[in-house]
Homo-oligomer: A and B are copies of this chain.
Amino acid sequence: MRPSKRDELVRKALPIFYREGFHATGMDALVAETGISKTTMFKHFRTKDELILAVLRYRDETFRNWFFRKLDDKALPPKDRLAAIFDILEEWFEEPAFKGCMFIKASSEFQDPDHPAYAQSAEHKRLLQTAFRSICADAGAHDPELLARQLLILKEGAIVAAHMGFDPEPAAIAKATAEQLIANQIDV
């Protein structure tokens, strides 16, 4: 049971940072809400930034797992998997705890491109794009690279719209858009 406390900290710190923000969350607040002592926190992570980075890595892993697991569970033929991306997005938006994309927020708070939190955030999006591209290829898109980049931009825009609340049905709008792109790239 060696590293369990460390994992517990990362797991419990995630929703706090997600809900309150990174700068706005102090170490003392983490102690109060996680029940883990500050001494222990700084034994596992030398700085707050290192903890934040571990939280972001954990988020990247769990989010992508959750997302593509959901997609796989639908057991759709390749050509229908692309539009289904936006159905899963909608499920996410409707969660009560939804507060936008953690990586968009991380890159908003840590703007220095050399900051590891920024780098990790960009990496998360790149990994999504790679996954999208392979789905596009499986679906028989003429230009999988282009379609994946279009779908990712649509997804990010929908997240921003959902978080800021300026569009009541961002996932549906993005899905309708995606379907046009897909129809133009995939022969029926």
Contact = CB atoms under 8 A, between A and B. Distances in A.
Nearest to A129: B166
B165 A153 contact: no
A105 B109 CA distance: 7
A164 to B, nearest CB: 5
**Chain A binding site: helix, strand, loop or mixed by DSSP?**
helix
A180 interface: yes
A156 interface: yes
Contacts of A159: 160
Copies of this chain present in the complex amount to 2
A164 B111 contact: no
Contacts of A109: 21, 23-24, 105, 108-109
A122 B165 contact: yes
B154 A173 contact: no
A152 interface: yes
A163 B150 CA distance: 16
Interface stretch (A34-42, A69-77, A96-104, A134-142): A96-104
Given A108-B108, A150-B173, 6 more contacts: A99-B111, A113-B165, A125-B161, A149-B173, A153-B167, A154-B157
